[in-house]
Amino acid sequence: MKNIPDRERLIFALDVADTAAARKLVERLDDAVQFYKLGLELFMSGDYFQLLDWLTARDKKIFVDLKFFDVPATVAAAVQQLRNRGVTFATVHGNQSIMEAAAAAKNDVKILAVTVLTSLDRGDLDDLGFQCDVQQLVLSRARRALEAGCDGVVSSGMEASMLRQHLDQRLLVVTPGIRPVDNRPADDQKRVMSVEQALRMGADYIVVGRPIRDAADPRAAANQVQAEIAAAVGAFSKPL
């Protein structure tokens, strides 16, 4: 496994309605979470960059998850706006030229290419016109992302082991769709797995949102995930 501090492997998806709610939740989570993902909901609420600066001032790591998808020059200009702001990751969607433009503009920001959203399954891909299976599509997009100069991918844990087998081990794999095995909520995530499963499959980071946000005690829920990460990493690191 990569030399990543255990407590930074958890990325909390800060999916709330506005920045006031976001700050309140961050303060409630306190030291249980070190890494935050800021997505479209907060971006559309306003004050996105003020929140980003507020988090970095508290030594939190930031994942800007806006899935840039536009003409390459526009994507490059958007990525440039994130440089030297304490942003660790940013996501990009789209074809080779879009990924190349993002990678060329990244500077201190690591670019993650989206492979196949964890809310999509085989039926959804059929609807979108993809004839290959999910694993083939993920592997193809990951290969192209590496060729384009991206640092990693966002991928379900179901494909992480395949990526580890076929691609450069330096590739970062960030895995969303993490759910407790015995208490999966009814939501829009279809390709899900547990913390231990995702790390065992080769994920470097896991993204957890609703299971922490909607818990009766979000800080306790986050600490439970952190304990599961530490236990899993510790078990994997033991010599055979």
Domain boundaries of the chain, sorted by first residue:
6-237
Give the per-residue pLDDT at 161. Answer: 86
Catalytic residue among 67, 110, 190, 238: 67
Residues 135-166 pLDDT 10s: 777 888 899 999 999 999 998 888 888 898 88
Q: How confident is the model at residue 168 (pLDDT cuts 50, 70, 90)?
A: confident
| H or E element in which residue 11 lies | strand 10-13
Provide the percentage of residues in the chain whose pLDDT is more than 70: 85
- Average pLDDT of the chain, as a whole number: 88
Q: What CATH code is assigned to 6-237?
A: 3.20.20.70
More confident of the two residues 110 and 192 = 110
Cα-flanking dihedrals φ and ψ of residue 217, to 5°? -130, 90
What pLDDT score was predicted for residue 92? 96
Is 106 a catalytic site residue? no
176-213: b (≥16 Cβ within 10 Å) or e: bbbbbeeeeeeeebebbbbbbbbbbbbbbbbbbbebbb
* The pLDDT of residue 58 is above 50: yes
Please compute the mean of the pLDDT values over residues 16-25 and round it to a whole number. 97
